[in-house]
Amino acid sequence: MSIDSIRIHCTGCEYEYLEHFQPITLKCKIGDEVATYYRTTAWCNQCDTIRYVEHIPTLDELQEDYDEFKAPFTEPPATGIRKFISLIFRGGRPSASDVRRSESIKKLNTQIAWRQARIAPPHCLTCGATDLTPIDFEQVDEHTSIAKNFRHSCGGQLVRDHNDDPGIRFHFRDRTIWMDIEGNRLDDSEMKTDRIMPS
């Protein structure tokens, strides 16, 4: 996978950050099942830079997925002649779509069970700290976004230039990181080792 990167710089000092949009999937065991979630970026006050951090969806967001997912399946259960036909033609076995549906419902129930058990705040994926500040970039013109909710320690503002293409493309493998229910990484590999090759 080859993805463009963007550059974020500080108006008050030399601070610079390159965002490479590395695809990362976070996985957490919950009982015999595995919940899946993703990362976002935030300022890590311990690393003192922008880092990948856990994105923990709210229960409402998960519930929304669930409702969206359930909507197409509101047909009434097979009874009478439809049940009879189903028994004749499929020997009473569940159809492929029934199997897919129950697998998806199971998966969503796993996500909800994980979210209910996940009380700890998001962790930095590099150092494990929870002292994080979300950065919300607001677009100010065609080419520039500014983090209005955040000040760098030097007093400057972080600016993201949309047309400031560093001219580098990075190739990333989709990466899976196993996490525990508290938000601690279960592997201790370096976050930087999976940059395969700049081209």
Q: Which residues are near Zn ion by CB under 5 A? A: 10, 12-13, 15, 44, 46-47, 51, 124, 126-127, 129, 152, 154, 156
- The letter for the amino acid at 100 is R
Distance of closest approach, residue 95 Cβ to Zn ion, in angstroms: 48
Which residue is it, tokens 């009879």?
A: 84
**Shorter beta-carbon distance to Zn ion: residue 17 or 178:** 17
* Shortest distance in whole angstroms from residue 53 CB to Zn ion: 8
Residue closer to Zn ion by CB (options 5, 46) is 46
Distance of closest approach, residue 150 Cβ to Zn ion, in angstroms: 11
CA distance 113 to 181: 11
* For Zn ion, the closer CB: 64 or 136: 136
Tell me how far, at minimum, the Cβ of 46 lies from Zn ion, in Å: 5
| Identity of the residue, 97 or 184, whose beta carbon is nearer to Zn ion in the bound complex | 184
